[in-house]
Structures are given as C-alpha cells and as structure tokens.
Amino acid sequence: ADDLVRSVHRVLTHADGQRRLGVRANADTPEDAARARRFGARGIGLCRTEHMFLGDRRQLVERLILADGDDERQGALDALEPLQKQDFLEIFEAMDGMPVTVRLLDPPLHEFLPDLTELSVRVAVAEAKGGADEGTLRLLAAVQRLHEQNPMLGLRGVRLGLVVPGLFAMQVRAIAEAACERRRAGGDPRPEIMIPLVGAVQELEAIREESERVLAQVCADEGIDVRALIGTMIEVPRAALTADQIAGSAEFFSFGTNDLTQMTWGFSRDDVEAAFFHAYLDKGIFGVSPFESLDRPGVGRLVEIGVERGRAARPDLKLGVCGEHGGDPDSVHFFHEVGLDYVSCSPFRVPIARLEAGRAALGGGLSGS
Ligand code: PEP
Ligand code: MG
C-alpha cells in the first residue's frame, strides 16, 4: 500500500510540474481547508459563507432578514460580525499564504425563513382560540412578503446584498478585521472578496464601492494595509454576455457553472433530477448530466464568451471556475483549453483535478481514452 501511495504521489508531482492550471478547493471550514491542503490545493476558490449560518446562527439571519426596523437589523448584524470574524480568522490560518476567495452571502432564502405553511397554520389556530399576538402576525406578513415560488431564481446573492442594508458591509468588515488580526500574529492572509449572482455591472459597482469603503476604514483603524481583490462570479448568462462591462469592476471572475447550467438550460437545480433527468438521458438528449460534465456547445460557449470579453476589457483579469465542473476530468481539459488560471473543486477531487490539469497541459486526452 505504501508503494501505491508513493507511486500516486510521484504521478501527481509530475502532473504538478506540467500543468498550467492552478488547483484550489471549495471549503468553508478550517477542517476542509486543512484537508484540501493535504490533497495539494493551493488556496480556496470558493468559501460559501451561507454554510456558516446554519445551526444556532440561523436565528440571527432570520432576525436580520425579517428585521422590523434599523435597530433590530443592526442588532443582528452586531451579533453576527464577531462570529464571522472568527470563521475567517480560522480559515485564513489554515490557508496561510494562499488565496482564500470568500463569497458573500448567497443563501437559498427559504432555508433561513420560517415555513410559510406552518406559520399560517399556527396563526389560524391562534386566531381560532381568540387571536394571534401582534408579533406573530407581523412575522407572518413578512414571511408572506418574502415567500418565493422559485427561491433559486429569487432574492439571493447580490440581490440580497442590495436589499438588506449593512449585510455585505458586515461580512467585508469581518474579512478585513480577521486579515488584520492574522497579520498582527505574523501570518500571511490573502483574502479575495467574491460577489455572487451578478448579472449587471451596476450591481457589482454598488457592492464594490461599499466594500472598498469598508476595507479602507478597517485599514485606517487598524493601521494595517490589507489588500483584497474584489471580483465576481459569472453564473448568470447575462454576466457572461456582458463580461466586458463587468470586468471594468472586477479583478477576477470565477465561473459558477452550477447556476450557469441551471439558467442556460432553464432547469431547476433542485428539481430536475427527480422530474425528468432520466427521461432525457434515456432519449439521448444528453449523455451525461450537464451538471456533471460541462455542456460545451451551450454552457461552455458562455464560459468562452465570458473569458474572451472579460480579458479583452482587462488583460490581467484572473479567471477561475468553482462550480462542480471544476473537479470533473473532462471539464478540466476544457478549462485548460479556454485559458482559465485555476479550477476549484471539493477537497476530495483535488488530486483528480491536478492529474487532469497536467494531462491537459501535455496535450493528453482524458483518463481511459
Ligand atoms: C455555482 O453556481 O456554480 C456555484 C459554485 O455556486 P453555488 O453552487 O453555491 O450556487
Ligand atoms: Mg451559484
């Protein structure tokens, strides 16, 4: 077994010597970050911050989104900020000296809100018994207002950042303060701030301005010059098509091929498998799920357009991918061909991505072909 491990290690080291694509990992805990490093990742390409708000903290996000007035909202933000700072501090420590792309909150909103049906039943029962209290009625009205038929196409990502005052600023402040603290401890944090679900440059500009203001303020307060690249995901077809404009406000792009696939095909990521995927596979409409292997004439074409238009507008634009395709062998070859700088995938797929990136650079075909 030791011989086998040594052989695999030799092959991967050889691939590392050949490949042009960087390999990062998608990780949002210090444990995953450490695991990714052991597998050979050189940074985090996607830290999904919504995963940091599950469990006990879910209540705080609910309070933030449903806040009745500025004071209540600010109270929730003040409670969340130190928790976020600690999250980032631990991740920067685990990935010291390597880039960590922190994606600002992109939650499926319904996971953070009370269930509308349950709440309606609760109110109906209370009314039957003599009346629901005012707080519960207000909550019901807010949940009704935010209820969505298609949450994955709804109030997510940058839209939430634009609608909930102070939310993204709180996250950026936590990132900057964690980076300062890490620097004071002698570390080398390399934060990158990523704005999700952008479809128009104006969305990005608004958040970018706010983020730069917060970064400058923290640097001045702490007396430490912390730099953070600010970039965006390209995961809405319109973002790929207007990549030249978007590149004017982004230092990097990371292709989110999960959402890009959903929106290009018009398939719901959440429902498609149960509803009609198998029929499509049986009929040969696609050979492999487009969520697994990049659909090159379709979704892949949008990636090409995003790369071409983005680089034409900003030649030093950094380009990566962090959708599931970042760890799919066939797709890794495509990302090499199209000229991305790095792929980012789950920690366990990092070795495969390293291998395939090396094979792609050597002009090799796919494993087994
Ligand atoms: C994506 O859309 O490809 C992506 C990486 O983001 P998420 O899967 O979190 O929506
Ligand atoms: Mg996405």
Taking the centre of ligand 2 as the mean of its atom positions, its distance from the CA of residue 255, in whole angstroms, is: 9
CA of 122 to the centre of ligand 2 (A): 34
% of the chain beyond a pLDDT of 90:
86
Helices 116-128 and 134-146: crossing angle, nearest 10°? 150
Counting ligand 1 atoms within 8 A of each CB, the residue from 51, 152, 159, 258 with the most, and so the one to mutate, is: 258
Ligand 1 closest atom vs CA 196: 6
Residue of the nearest CA to atom 8 in ligand 1?
Answer: 258
pLDDT at 369 over 60: no
Contact present, 171 and 218 (Cβ < 8 Å): no
Nearest Cα to Cα of residue 63 among 154, 138, 155? 138
Q: Does the beta carbon of 258 sit less than 6 angstroms from any atom of ligand 1?
A: yes
* Residue 258 known to bind ligand: yes
**Are the beta carbons of 175 and 88 closer than 8 angstroms?**
yes
* Mean pLDDT, residues 156-160: 97
Residue closest by Cα to atom 1 of ligand 1 = 256
pLDDT in tens, 201-250: 999 999 999 999 999 999 999 999 999 999 999 999 999 999 999 999 99
Atom of ligand 1 nearest to the CA of 254: 5
Tell me if 194 CB under 6 Å of ligand 1: no
Residue 365 is predicted with a pLDDT of: 67
ipTM above threshold 0.85: yes
Tell whether residue 161 is among the known ligand binding residues.
no
Tens digit of pLDDT for each residue in 281-294? 999 999 899 999 99
Q: Is 339 annotated as a binding residue?
A: no
Residue 368 pLDDT > 80: no
Indicate if ligand 1 lies below 6 Å from the C-beta of 329.
Answer: no
Spatial separation of the C-alpha atoms in residues 14 and 206, rounded to whole Å: 44
Helices (H), the chain: 2-18, 30-38, 58-65, 70-94, 116-128, 134-146, 157-163, 167-184, 201-222, 237-241, 243-247, 257-265, 272, 278-282, 301-313, 329-338, 350-361
Determine if ligand 1 sits within 6 Å of the CB of residue 152.
no
Question: Does residue 323 line the site of ligand 1, with CB under 6 A?
Answer: yes
103 a known binding residue? Answer: yes
pLDDT (tens digit per residue) in 90-112: 999 999 999 999 999 998 888 88
What residues act catalytically?
322
**Is there a contact between 301 and 309 (Cβ–Cβ < 8 Å)?**
no
Closest to 369 in 3D by CA, of 339, 341, 330 = 330
At 342-362, the pLDDT tens digits run 999 999 999 999 999 999 999
Look at residue 318 and tell me whether its pLDDT is greater than 90.
Answer: yes
Please give the average per-residue pLDDT across 70-93, as a whole number: 97
pLDDT of residue 367: 53
Cα–Cα distance between 45 and 269 in angstroms, integer? 21
Ligand 2 geometric centre to CA of 2 (Å):
39
Indicate the pTM of the whole model.
Answer: 0.95
